[in-house]
Amino acid sequence: MDGFWSQFCTVLESKIGDRDMDAWVRPGLSLEQVAPSLADPHLVRFRTTSRWHHDWIRDNFLAEITWACSEICGRTVTVELVGEGAAAPALPAAPARKAIPTVDRSLVFENFVVGKCNEFAHAAAIAVAESPGRVYNPLFIYGGTGLGKTHLSHAIGNRVEQLHPHLNVCYYGSQQFFEQMVRAIQNKANLQFLEHFRADVDVLILDDIQFLGGRERTEEELFHILEAMQANGKQVVITSDEPPRNLGRLAPRLRTRFEQGLLVDVQPPDVETMMAILAQKAELMRLDIPSDVQYTIAQRVRSSVRELEGVLKRLSALHAFYRAPITLAFLHERMSDVIPPAAPPPTPDRIIARVAEHYHVRVSDILGNRRPANIAWPRQIAMFLTRRVTGLSFPEIGRAFGRDNSTVQYACNKVEEGAERDPNIRAEIEQLERLCRAPVA
Ligand code: ADP
Ligand code: MG
């Protein structure tokens, strides 16, 4: 039984993630019976530790639990949850009217650098801040980490408070929102929670919505909240690392609701914008950085502004410690780990070659038009990895593969779905990705 339990935890965690495992499954479940024997089971019975855990696990994770048990047993099993145990421990009550989480005052439009990568998102954010609830509702900002989504959403909140002091702005990270919601549901206070948003909040900012995916009851409540707020002309601002269509785990009607607003994205900054951001941050930090060093850093640190900030902090500390001026030589000497001499970036050709080699097919097969499964899958993987490793656009990848961009998009989605579903595929992709990223021998 111990063996089954630990296998179960591993498999289930690959599906639902460690946060839900630690929050719900490990404290909430124990294995009662795998019957009639491990070799031929058709029933797996778990005991729940409280009514609260029982209901939550049943409503949110039963399908995943059944899947995990079936995976381990190698056949479809029935899962039973028994026992409700003691009553749930009391948690603090639902949020009081005063406890509205407010926004970080330092994140404002004035210190947000605008470039091609974010100008549309920035313009939409300003429009929303000027006329909350009246222009784009919801405003949905998406893009990779460290590219300014949280900054922009706070800037909206701060500008609203400045222009419309009578309006209440409420900011939630999705984890925070989730916890409040869980408390409200637990205390059967979800109606009050909803009412709280409808009555007390004029602008609701929900940051990093992607973490809510798969939490059905939270999503359901969120749907009602959005509906009530929009019906009352209240503004909703949402951020996510992916556009709604890629949030596969999110309830479809919630996705549809997001898509009814305005979707705007933030892209990684080009070198010029990165340099402008760098100059602004350096000035705030009172760091004197000559332009060749600025250029080198902006060129090498391309993935996110957060990474850039990390580099600057480190540079500032090293500069203070060694009391040496910041020059290119200093940079290479003291920060070679952060900014190594540039390696040539992986090209689509190299990725195709590595994938072909891995699957024992020819490069010409991947670039050709034949469609048997043993070629179609490596071809899709190669497109997916090209996208992930090089960051090229769909049309650019399409050109490299001699296909149109919708084919590339389809392939990327398909591989992503496969990885989401199947831990083996995920592992395979990770291994291949490392191969593709490794420098040429
Ligand atoms: P995200 O929420 O997209 O992960 P953040 O908004 O937290 O990213 O941004 C990461 C850091 O980079 C923050 O300190 C933010 O102030 C800064 N930042 C991001 N974009 C810009 C920008 N365009 N101008 C100035 N600072 C930026
Ligand atoms: Mg953020």
Q: Give yes or no for residue 151 having a pLDDT over 90.
A: yes
What is the structure's pLDDT at 340?
Answer: 63
Q: Give yes or no for residue 88 having a pLDDT over 70.
A: no
What is the structure's pLDDT at 216?
Answer: 84
Residue 266 vs residues 18, 132, 140, 281: alpha-carbon distances, Å = 28, 21, 11, 19
Nearest atom in ligand 1 to 208's CA: 2
pLDDT band, residue 441 (cuts 50/70/90): low
What is the structure's pLDDT at 371?
Answer: 83
Percentage of residues in the chain having pLDDT higher than 90: 49
Task: Determine the Cα–Cα distance for residues 56 and 439; give it in Å rounded to an integer.
Answer: 47
Q: How far is the CA of 153 from the centre of ligand 2 (A)?
A: 9
Structure tokens at 110: 């004035």
Nearest atom in ligand 1 to 239's CA: 2
Q: Does 2-83 carry CATH code 3.30.420.40?
A: no
Chain mean pLDDT for the chain: 87
Average pLDDT of the segment spanning 330-356: 82
Nearest atom in ligand 1 to 280's CA: 25
Ligand closest to Cα of 305 equals 1
Identify which has the larger pLDDT, 90 or 56: 56
Q: Give yes or no for residue 92 having a pLDDT over 60.
A: no
What is the structure's pLDDT at 378?
Answer: 95
Q: Give yes or no for residue 86 having a pLDDT over 70.
A: no
Give the number of other CB atoms < 10 A from CB of residue 321: 9
Q: Do domains 2-83 and 109-266 have the same CATH topology?
A: no
The superfamily in CATH containing domain 348-437 is DnaA protein, C-terminal DNA-binding domain (1.10.1750.10)
- With a Cβ cut-off of 6 Å, ligand 1 is lined by 107, 111-113, 118, 145-151, 277, 305-306, 309
Average pLDDT of the segment spanning 263-277: 94
Average pLDDT of the segment spanning 155-169: 94
Nearest atom in ligand 1 to 207's CA: 2
What is the structure's pLDDT at 71?
Answer: 82
Residue 115 vs residues 141, 150, 268: alpha-carbon distances, Å = 16, 17, 10
Handedness of CA 14, 20, 23, 25 (dihedral sign): negative
Domain residue extents for the chain: 2-83, 109-266, 271-334, 348-437
Q: Give yes or no for residue 265 having a pLDDT over 70.
A: yes
Q: How far is the CA of 259 from the centre of ligand 2 (A)?
A: 20
- What's the per-residue H, E or C state across 126-194? HHHHHCCCCCCCCEEEECCCCCCHHHHHHHHHHHHHHHCCCCCEEEEEHHHHHHHHHHHHHCCCHHHHH
Average pLDDT of the segment spanning 274-296: 92
Q: Order across the sheet with 43-48: list the strands.
A: 29-35, 43-48, 78-82
Nearest CA to ligand 1 atom 25: 112
Nearest atom in ligand 1 to 122's CA: 23
What is the structure's pLDDT at 105?
Answer: 86
- What is the per-residue pLDDT across 41-68, written as a single tens digit (0 to 9) for each? 688 889 888 777 787 788 888 888 988 8
What is the structure's pLDDT at 37?
Answer: 58
Rg (CA), the chain: 25
What is the structure's pLDDT at 99?
Answer: 42
Q: Give yes or no for residue 39 having a pLDDT over 70.
A: no
- What is the per-residue pLDDT across 200-226, written as a single tens digit (0 to 9) for each? 899 999 999 988 877 888 888 899 999
- What is the per-residue pLDDT across 358-369, written as a single tens digit (0 to 9) for each? 999 999 999 998
Nearest CA to ligand 1 atom 19: 148
Average pLDDT of the segment spanning 331-341: 76
Nearest CA to ligand 1 atom 6: 148
- What is the per-residue pLDDT across 222-243, written as a single tens digit (0 to 9) for each? 999 999 999 999 999 999 999 9
Of 107, 147, 284, 308, best ligand 1 pocket probe by most atoms within 8 Å of the beta carbon: 147
Of 119, 242, 273, 306, best ligand 1 pocket probe by most atoms within 8 Å of the beta carbon: 306
Nearest atom in ligand 1 to 113's CA: 24
What is the structure's pLDDT at 132?
Answer: 96
Structure tokens at 92: 């603090």
Identify which has the larger pLDDT, 5 or 15: 5
Contact indicator for 121, 265 with CB cutoff of 8 Å: yes
From 24, 41, 31, 38, select the one nearest 6 (Cα to Cα).
31
Nearest atom in ligand 1 to 114's CA: 23
Q: Which fold has domain 271-334?
A: Helicase, Ruva Protein; domain 3 (1.10.8)
Q: Give yes or no for residue 411 having a pLDDT over 70.
A: yes
Bond from prior residue into 268 cis (ω within 30 degrees of 0): no
What is the structure's pLDDT at 341?
Answer: 59
pLDDT band, residue 101 (cuts 50/70/90): low
Beta-carbon contacts of residue 212 (< 8 Å; ≥ 6 apart): 174, 177, 178, 218, 219, 222, 250
pTM tops 0.75, yes or no: no
Ligand closest to Cα of 281 equals 1
Average pLDDT of the segment spanning 136-153: 95
Q: How far is the CA of 211 from the centre of ligand 2 (A)?
A: 12
Give the number of other CB atoms < 10 A from CB of residue 74: 9
Nearest CA to ligand 1 atom 16: 151
Q: How far is the CA of 146 from the centre of ligand 2 (A)?
A: 7
236 DSSP β-pair partners: 204
Q: How far is the CA of 148 from the centre of ligand 1 (A)?
A: 3
Q: How far is the CA of 107 from the centre of ligand 2 (A)?
A: 12
Tell me the residue type at 128.
V
- Domain 109-266, CATH: 3.40.50.300
Percentage of residues in the chain having pLDDT higher than 70: 91
What is the structure's pLDDT at 97?
Answer: 33
Nearest CA to ligand 1 atom 5: 148
Nearest CA to ligand 1 atom 18: 148
Average pLDDT of the segment spanning 183-188: 85
